[in-house]
Amino acid sequence: MEWEATMIDIRDSGKAADFENRQIFQINNVEIKDHKTLERIYVKAQFSRDPAKLPEGDVLWVKDYDESIIPEPMRIKILEKLPNPVEKYL
């Protein structure tokens, strides 16, 4: 499966240094989007820019600040699907 996330979510989680250093890092609540259906979900997940460090992960395309896709995909391993925080207001 392939997913999308934004660099803003990675930066705002305080994980930008891990991203730049190609380390495995975890974000406990991040929105990702199915690359084909565009369905958005919230997850707790592990990430890595180095596919060898997270070989069991799915492909994750990251949008940069200008909405362009970073050409090198990352890996994401979804640990838990979380409830959509907006749904409680609908």
Domain ranges of the chain: 2-82
**Per-residue confidence (pLDDT) for residue 2, from 0 to 100:** 95
Q: Cα–Cα distance between 77 and 90 in angstroms, integer? A: 29
Task: Assess contact for 19 and 10: CB atoms under 8 A.
Answer: yes
- The model carries a pTM of 0.85
Over residues 2-11, the pLDDT tens digits come to: 999 988 877 7
Q: What is the mean pLDDT of the chain?
A: 89
- Within 8 A by CB and 6+ apart from 57, the residues are 46, 47, 48, 51, 75, 76, 77
**Per-residue pLDDT averaged across 46-57, rounded?**
94
